[in-house]
Structure 1
Amino acid sequence: MVLTMGELARALDAQCWGDATIRVTGAAEPSAVEPAGPQGGQLAMAMAPKYADQLRPGSIAILAQGMDPAAYGLKAAIFAPRPRLVMAGLTRAFDPGPDIAPGIHPTAVIDPTAQLAEGAAVGPFVVIGADVAIGLGARIGAHASIGRGTRIGQGALIHPGVRIGHGVTAGDRLIVQPGAVIGGDGFSFVTPEESGIEEIRRTLGTRADIRQQHWTRIHSLGGVEIGDDVEIGANATIDRGTIRATRVGRGTKIDNLVMIAHNVVVGSDCLLCSQVGIAGSSVIGDRVVLAGQVGVSDNIQVGSDVIAGGATKIYSRVPAGRVILGNPAVKMETQMEIQKAMRRLPRFAQQLSKLQESVTRLLEKG
Structure 2
Amino acid sequence: MGHTIREIATALDAEAAGNLDLVVTHAAEPAAADADALALAMDARYAEGIRQGAARAAMLWQGADWQALGLEAAIFVPRGRLAMAGLSRMLDPGPQIARVVHPMALVDPTAEIGEGAAIGPFVTIGAQVRIGPNARIASHVSIAEGAEIGADALILQGARIGARVRIGDRFICQPGAVIGADGFSFVTPEKSGVEEIRETLGEREEIRQQSWVRIHSLGSVRLGDDVEVGANSTIDRGTIRDTVVGNGTKIDNLVQLGHNVQVGSDCLLCGQVGIAGSARIGNRVVLGGQVGVSDNIFVGDDVIAGGSTKIRTNAPAGRVILGDPAVKMETQIEIQKAMRRLPRLAATVAALQKAVSLKGQSD
TM-score normalised to structure 1 length? 0.97
**Equivalent in the alignment of 2:80:** 83
C-alpha contact 2:57 2:73 (8 A) present in aligned 1: yes
The one-letter code of the counterpart of 2:96 is: D
**Equivalent in the alignment of 1:132:** 129
Q: Which runs of 5+ in 1 are unaligned?
A: 36-40
Distance 2:169 2:66 in 1: 41
Distance 1:124 1:130 in 2: 18
- Please point out which of 62, 69, 72 is paired with 2:69: 72
Q: Deviations over 1:248-300 (max 9, x none)?
A: 00000000000000000000000000000000000000000000000000001
Q: Deviations over 1:324-354 (max 9, x none)?
A: 0000000000000000000000001111011
- Please point out which of 332, 337, 341 is paired with 2:334: 337
Distance 2:235 2:47 in 1: 42
The one-letter code of the counterpart of 2:24 is: V
The one-letter code of the counterpart of 2:42 is: M
Distance 1:18 1:79 in 2: 11
Q: Deviations over 1:47-74 (max 9, x none)?
A: 1122121114662100011211112011
Distance 1:21 1:8 in 2: 11
- Please point out which of 244, 253, 256 is paired with 2:253: 256
**Equivalent in the alignment of 2:189:** 192
2:229 aligned with 1:229:
no
Distance 2:3 2:40 in 1: 16
- Please point out which of 38, 43, 48 is paired with 1:43: 38
C-alpha contact 1:256 1:275 (8 A) present in aligned 2: yes
SS at match of 1:348: helix
The one-letter code of the counterpart of 1:89 is: G
State the Cα distance separating 1:34 from its structure 2 match. Answer: 2.2
**Equivalent in the alignment of 2:162:** 165
Distance 1:361 1:211 in 2: 54
More displaced 10-residue stretch of structure 1: 211-220 or 172-181: 211-220
- Please point out which of 47, 56, 67 is paired with 1:52: 47
Q: Deviations over 1:23-59 (max 9, x none)?
A: 1111011111123xxxxx1100111122121114662
Distance 1:44 1:268 in 2: 34
SS at match of 1:51: helix
Q: How does 1:143-222 map to 2 (within 5 A)?
A: 143-222=140-219
Q: How does 1:17-32 map to 2 (within 5 A)?
A: 17-32=17-32
Q: Deviations over 1:165-197 (max 9, x none)?
A: 001001000000000000000000011100111
Distance 1:48 1:71 in 2: 15
Distance 1:55 1:361 in 2: 68
**Equivalent in the alignment of 1:38:** none
Q: Deviations over 1:217-246 (max 9, x none)?
A: 100000101000000000000000000000
State the Cα distance separating 1:99 from its structure 2 match. Answer: 2.0
Q: How many residues align?
A: 361
2:282 aligned with 1:290:
no
Q: Deviations over 1:94-143 (max 9, x none)?
A: 10111212201111001010000100000000000000000010000000
2:29 aligned with 1:34:
no
Distance 2:211 2:98 in 1: 50
C-alpha contact 2:38 2:55 (8 A) present in aligned 1: no
Distance 1:283 1:68 in 2: 50
SS at match of 1:73: coil
SS at match of 1:154: coil
C-alpha contact 1:104 1:121 (8 A) present in aligned 2: yes
C-alpha contact 1:303 1:319 (8 A) present in aligned 2: yes
C-alpha contact 1:58 1:73 (8 A) present in aligned 2: no
Distance 1:96 1:245 in 2: 35
The one-letter code of the counterpart of 1:341 is: A
TM-score normalised to structure 2 length? 0.98
CA-atom RMSD, angstroms? 0.9
SS at match of 2:284: coil
Distance 1:58 1:27 in 2: 10
Distance 2:128 2:78 in 1: 48
